[in-house]
């Protein structure tokens, strides 16, 4: 990923990269979005439910994301960039465990980091294999209110437009104030304010354009299809696996076979 100093351009690149991944093709991409969504939620739920000292039991959960990354043909390392936001925070909270608890604290800190990394990998792989419209359709299927889903879809669409504007404005600002680290105080209000005013015009244009095409509050999603048996097998297999891993320490059992 090319990284500049412009936060907004970086965000745009990140969005674009996710989009490209999501539009790839693999058995995982072809699964029904709803199934992927449910499995991901279940996975994260089971991962965080492990005891904070159960490092061996938790370890086997790593197989799921790695396997899915493999089948989806996405390099595991693509999600590491995103860890920069999660890990510091988790570490900040976990770093005190060794201080207060000694060796047990080391274990709990490590499981905490593992939980953070695992759940990130799981949600990353879901988004990286499911386009936003598929995700929205899945949310509608589980009866998330239409207003929220509509809002999600529209916001996602306009984030692309407005973040680009911010990127351009930031560049324009920097070109005239190369030594400043950010926006100086005398422009605090007008910088975002200008964009806000333009956005409001955009919103009313958007409203018009929806009205002219007889929008009645419900979107249509292209990626609507029924569940097939592959989806169901995937769902049952994954959740069965998670349950097994959660209640039987598979890592130790496996190890026992060799000892």
Partner 1 sequence: MIKFENVCFSYENGTQILKDLSFEISEGETVGLIGCNGAGKSTLMKVLLGLLPHEGIVKVSDLELNKNNLEEIRRKLGFVLQDSDNQMFMPTVYEDMMFGPLNYGHTKEEAEARVDEVLEQLNLTYLKHKYNHKISGGEKRMAAIATILTMRPKVILMDEPSTALDPENRRRVINAINDLNITKIIASHDLDMILDTCDRVILMHDGKIIADGKTEDILRDEKLLEANHMELPFKLQGLREFI
Partner 2 sequence: MHMADALLSPAVATTMYAASTVAAGASIFKVNKEKESIKIPTMAVTAALVFAGQMINYTIPGTGSSGHICGGMLLTSLLGPQAGFLSMIVILAIQCLFFADGGLLALGANCWNMAFYGCFVGYYLIWKPIMKSKLNERLKLIIAPIVGCILTLQLGAFSVVLETSLSGITDLPFGTFVSIMQPIHLAIGLVEGLVTSAVLLFIKEARPELIKDLRPTEAWNCDAAKDAKSNGKLSFKATIAVLAAVAIVIGGGFSLLASSNPDGLEWSLFGNADSGYSQNMGLDEEDYGVKSTAADKAQSVQDKTSILPDYGFKDSDSFLGTSTSGIVGIGVVAAVIVVVSLIPKLVKKKEKDEQGDK
User: Which span sits near partner 1 by CB under 8 A: 73-81, 82-90, 217-225, 251-259?
Assistant: 217-225
Shortest distance (Å) from residue 176 CB to partner 1:
24
| Number of chain residues interacting with partner 1 (CB under 8 A) | 29
Q: How far is CA 203 from CA 145, 207, 209, in A?
A: 22, 6, 10
Smallest separation (angstroms) from partner 1 to the CB of 136: 9
Residue number with CB closer to partner 1 (141 or 202): 202
Nearest residue (CB) to partner 1, 166 versus 238: 166
Q: Is 216 in the site for partner 1 (CB under 8 A)?
A: yes
Give the burial class of 92: count Cβ atoms within 10 A of its Cβ; 0-12 exposed, 13-18 middle, 19 or more buried.
exposed
**How many whole angstroms separate alpha carbon 53 and alpha carbon 90?**
16
Is 19 among the residues that bind partner 1 (CB under 8 A)? yes
Task: Choose the one of partner 1, partner 2, none that binds residue 195, judging by a C-beta under 5 to 8 angstroms depending on kind.
Answer: partner 2
**Residues in region 44-83 near partner 1 by CB under 8 A:** none
- Binding at 76: pick from partner 2, partner 1, none (beta carbon under 5-8 Å per type): partner 2
Q: Which of residues 120-149 bind partner 1 (CB under 8 A)?
A: 131-133
- Give the residue among 76, 219, 53 at the shortest CA–CA distance from 137: 219
- Distances 169 to 15, 166, 199 between C-alpha atoms, Å: 19, 5, 14
Verify binding: residue 161, partner 1, rule CB under 8 A.
yes
Q: Is 210 in the site for partner 1 (CB under 8 A)?
A: yes
Alpha carbon of 37 to those of 34, 43, 89, 137, 152: distances in Å?
5, 10, 25, 11, 16
Q: Is 232 in the site for partner 1 (CB under 8 A)?
A: no
Tokens coding 63: 């197989």
Q: Which stretch binds partner 1 (CB under 8 A): 180-188, 215-223, 226-234, 237-245?
A: 215-223
Binding partner 1 (rule: CB under 8 A), the pick from 100, 213, 226, 259 is 213
Q: CA 150, CA 146: separation in Å to the nearest integer? A: 6
Structure tokens of 230? 């592959």
Are 125 and 80 in contact by the 8 Å Cβ rule? The answer is no
Report the residue number, 131 or 231, with the smaller CB distance to partner 2: 131
* Phi and psi angles of residue 36, each rounded to the nearest 5 degrees, phi first: -60, -40
User: Given candidates 55, 87, 113, 154, which one binds partner 1 under the rule CB under 8 A?
Assistant: 154
User: Smallest distance from the beta carbon of 222 to partner 2, in angstroms?
Assistant: 19
* Closest CB 189 distance from partner 1, rounded Å: 25
| Lookup result for tokens 């097939």 | 228
């Amino acid at each position: 990923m090319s990284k500049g100093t412009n936060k907004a351009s970086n965000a745009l690149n990140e969005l674009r990269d996710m989009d490209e991944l999501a539009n790839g093709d693999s058995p995982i991409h072809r699964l029904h979005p709803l199934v992927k969504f449910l499995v991901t939620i279940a996975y994260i739920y089971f991962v965080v439910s492990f005891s904070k000292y159960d490092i061996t039991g938790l370890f086997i959960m790593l197989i799921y994301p790695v396997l899915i990354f493999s089948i989806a043909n996405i390099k595991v390392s693509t999600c590491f960039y995103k860890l920069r936001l999660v890990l510091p925070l988790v570490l900040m909270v976990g770093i005190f465990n060794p201080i207060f608890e000694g060796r047990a604290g080391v274990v709990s800190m490590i499981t905490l980091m593992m939980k953070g990394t695992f759940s990130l990998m799981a949600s990353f792989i879901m988004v990286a294999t499911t386009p936003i419209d598929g995700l929205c359709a899945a949310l509608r299927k589980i009866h998330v209110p239409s207003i929220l889903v509509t809002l999600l879809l529209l916001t996602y669409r306009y984030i692309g437009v407005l973040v680009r504007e911010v990127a351009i404005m930031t560049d324009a600002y920097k070109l005239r104030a190369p030594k400043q680290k950010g926006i100086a105080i005398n422009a605090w209000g007008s910088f975002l304010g200008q964009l806000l005013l333009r956005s409001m015009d955009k919103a009313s244009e958007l409203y018009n354009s929806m009205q002219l095409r007889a929008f009645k509050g419900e979107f249509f999603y292209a990626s609507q299809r029924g569940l097939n048996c592959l989806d169901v097998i995937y769902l049952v297999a994954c959740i069965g696996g998670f349950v097994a891993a959660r209640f039987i320490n598979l890592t130790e059992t496996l190890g026992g076979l060799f000892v």
